[in-house]
Structure 1
Amino acid sequence: MLPFNRFRTIDGMGVDTVLSPEMKSTGEVMGLDAEFGTAFAKSQAAAYGSLPTEGTVFVSLANRDKRSAVFPVKRLADLGFTVLATAGTAQVLRRNGVPCTVVGKYSDGPGNVVEAILAGEVDMVVNTPFGAPGNSGPRLDGYEIRTAAVTAGIPCITTVQGMAAAVQGVESLRRGDIGVRSLQDLHAALAASRAEALAASRAGALS
């Protein structure tokens, strides 16, 4: 857990959410549950705020990630989310049957996705970093998008694996599976489960 909204460079710019050697603070949160998606949703609520259960998701992916991200993005669309995407990502999504609306990158000028994020029109951002180091176009676009997400206080996912986990979390939230359980109850349930497994194993050995 990194409080990116508190970080600023010398010139007052926000700090990119992609982890780097410049990490200034670190901490941990933990979500516990029997189901992974529910546990992930809990961890996100503890870190930055709950995952959205409806609304608009913006997706901009590096070429290496586009094919593997189709299924989780399609699942969000099936759940009723409006999908915004940059031109290259939208092309791949549409080719695979995922409806989406093209929105401009930061470098495209007025009416771009950064303005939409800061205006509160986006509920979750998925942006996997790409581009050469320095101030290349794609790299700068990604920086502006992720920084805007932090400023707006919305979830910002930077890996395909994280996106898949987020989708599971959204599904858990929509089912109402999020609950509270004490560590004592959790350990009691684990102990009972182990005892049942051991008894079944012994019974099988005797038979």
Structure 2
Amino acid sequence: MAGRPAKYCRETVIGNAMAEFWSRGFVGSDIDGLTGAAGVNRHSLYKAFGGKRGLFLDALRHYVDGVAAGYVKLLEQGSGLDDICAYFAYATGMRQVENPDAEPQGFDQRGCFLVNTAIELGHSDPQVTALLEVYYARIENAFAGLIRRGQESGSIRSDIDPHITARWLRVTSQGLSVSSRMGSVPGDLTGVVRMALATTEQAKGERG
């Protein structure tokens, strides 16, 4: 006899669990809270995901494929300095990729789910570490490619190394996520990015 079909949408369960993990972290999220947030009972959660860790891994992948993918796409499709500045405006929660014309909503005090996970779990879970490393390598490569295109178009200084600068930008965005988690809202970071990356001509134009 075939088993009963699941009475829930797997993607919805993972998405709801992601929100719980994002707010409370892995350690701070308990099974009762997860089943309530995800809308499934304990038996179904263990049967479908193998338990809390399995659900957490799926939630991380869901974040990478959903929320984070929009920011990576912004970099991969960008052509110059304006797109790097836009990334920081979006990724720090000031605006949303899906609705860039909306008024800034302020920083998301949950920070970045991936940065939070890296801080909380470090290298304690090989699967989590591998997932984070793949994502951050992709972000760095996207930054480096965008910097090269900006150098070719003349919007970004030609005397900087794309890969070194890409790592600086990635680390800077991670630091912003930590600041937002602590409730600290820095000033206009896009101005700092422009000052660091703009060509002399562009910098004069901004001041003029």
Structure 2 length-normalised TM: 0.25
Higher helix share: 2
Structure 1 length-normalised TM: 0.25
Considering Cα pairs closer than 8 Å and 6+ residues apart, tell me whether 1 or 2 has the greater RCO: 1
Higher strand share: 1
